Chains A and B, each alone.
Chain A
């Protein structure tokens, strides 16, 4: 079984983003970029499936500007076998990404597509579900557990009320949550080896997909800032303030 896995180049999760002074977008100039943390977990899971003998090949896909190659190399260093970069300098919305992925699925015929449940930049949480819809595949979203058998996968999903276990028919699209695994750090020899692994560059047009805007970004603003309050010296003072000043207890 082939596993297709996706990675997105996003702002490093430790960096606090700033809004541009003209409110057109956030400012990503000279900001540290990294693999979206959820995508890293997806890659790790795919590589573990290969190590367990359940997957035969791990193909990693990214979409965006040319420098997304860096994130593909990271995935290759973690253990993916080959990479596809669908290069575009346009804004690729989730549905467009899902349409390109659907074409790649058609070509590659993976048994599983593993993706992050959301990217920490746009926080949309939708591309995996959209890909599942376009390909008619089953979907297991927000998963924190996975067991693959011949024609189905059992997934543990993190839901509002607790945990849910579903059996989804293969091929399936899975989107991963934080607690599925702890991604490995790529070793130096593996980073060197990754440089020699195949990386193919394509465009959305190669897959017959036209980049279409479904939304227009009108404005980006910083959120209302919360002012820091006061420090209290003791529990007694805290209780007094909560009772008499804030009147919340």
Chain B
């Protein structure tokens, strides 16, 4: 058995979601080859080679793979899929974009966002916004799988000595091209790996008031997240969204402010270790999952909390 794992990276290093996927691959068992695909991504190879448990690092560095254009990346993966029994990728927006394309090119299904490995062909995954957990057995020869990063501990980054191989073939379909990218700039920790998260909902009122959470987050060294309602209302950008269709987070401490706790939002944060809810509506569903609930006007409570830290 051999596993091909498609890395999520930023052209400098592997993202934490990749290391979590390595852990999932280790639980499946077999040789693990790590594919680094992108444009200007060769620098990732060295650090990737030192991840324990990797047999080979494959590097496909070409302009055709810039920003991991799905059509080209999927075509490349299909080319090299060969003898692999499993193809894994983190369930990031990149993985979610190209992996189903890979599955269809190989005429197999895809098992999306697994949260546990039961055996080499059986996995658990959340369905219905996490209100049910399905145990699913793959009947395909090749198992194409995306992995939820927060459900697996990240693998170590030192101690391994994989070989590095450069892939020469280029798959350029010419179907799509990048026009522009607007990436959020922030000195705060990344939402999906942050130890502490402060998240706000519609109750924040408006964009200016939402910024109150920034100050609190900075005091706590936290990332800032939001509900769909807050993003839709334009308080913050889409990359803040936590929930069924946004980001899934599992920090040590999650502080939800002015958010009711719709099931779609809970789907993205209920695995947090400690949940704090601040809301003036004592019947808000968020209190049903909160370890510590404070029924209070957030505009009094948040400044007070910030001062007492």
Question: Which residue numbers of A lie inside 8 Å of B, CB to CB?
Answer: 11, 13, 16-17, 19, 26, 38, 93-95, 98, 117-118, 120-134, 137-142, 144, 154, 157-169, 177-179, 213-223, 226, 228-232, 234-236, 238-239, 241-242, 246, 248-249
Contact = CB atoms under 8 A, between A and B. Distances in A.
18 contacts: A94-B110, A120-B244, A125-B96, A126-B100, A162-B239, A164-B67, A165-B178, A166-B177, A214-B139, A215-B139, A218-B137, A220-B135, A223-B130, A228-B293, A230-B293, A246-B253, A249-B196, A249-B309
A140 B176 contact: yes
B239 A160 contact: yes
Chain B's interface size range is 35 or more
A230 to B, nearest CB: 6
A241 B184 CA distance: 34
B232 interface: yes
B196 A154 contact: no
A172 to B, nearest CB: 8
B253 A235 contact: no
A143 B65 CA distance: 20
A16 B66 CA distance: 41
A207 to B, nearest CB: 16
Contacts of A242: 253, 274, 276, 292
Contacts of B296: 235
B112 A126 contact: yes
Contact of B184 (A162, A165, A177, A230): A162
B57 to A, nearest CB: 23
A72 to B, nearest CB: 23
Nearest to B70: A139
B223 interface: no
B126 A123 contact: yes
Given A216-B136, A231-B294, 9 more contacts: A11-B128, A26-B128, A95-B103, A121-B128, A165-B180, A179-B232, A218-B135, A230-B292, A238-B276
Contacts of B274: 242, 246, 248
A217 B134 CA distance: 7
Contact of A123 (B101, B238, B244): B244
Contacts of A164: 67, 178, 180-182
Interface string B243-272: 011010000110000000001100000100
Interface stretch (B39-47, B154-162, B206-214, B283-291): B283-291
A98 B107 CA distance: 11
Contacts of A118: 245
**Contact residues of A: prevailing secondary structure:** mixed
Contacts of A142: 93, 96-97
A165 B69 CA distance: 11
A232 B274 CA distance: 14
Contact of B132 (A38, A139, A220): A220
B50 interface: no
Contact of A231 (B99, B270, B287): B287
Interface stretch (B29-37, B81-89, B163-171, B300-308): B300-308
B235 interface: no
Contacts of B220: 249
Contact of A217 (B136, B140, B179, B183): B136
Given A154-B179, A179-B231, A230-B293, A248 B305 contact: no
Nearest to B112: A124
A242 B291 CA distance: 10
B183 A162 contact: yes
Interface in B121-145: 122, 126-140
Nearest to B74: A133
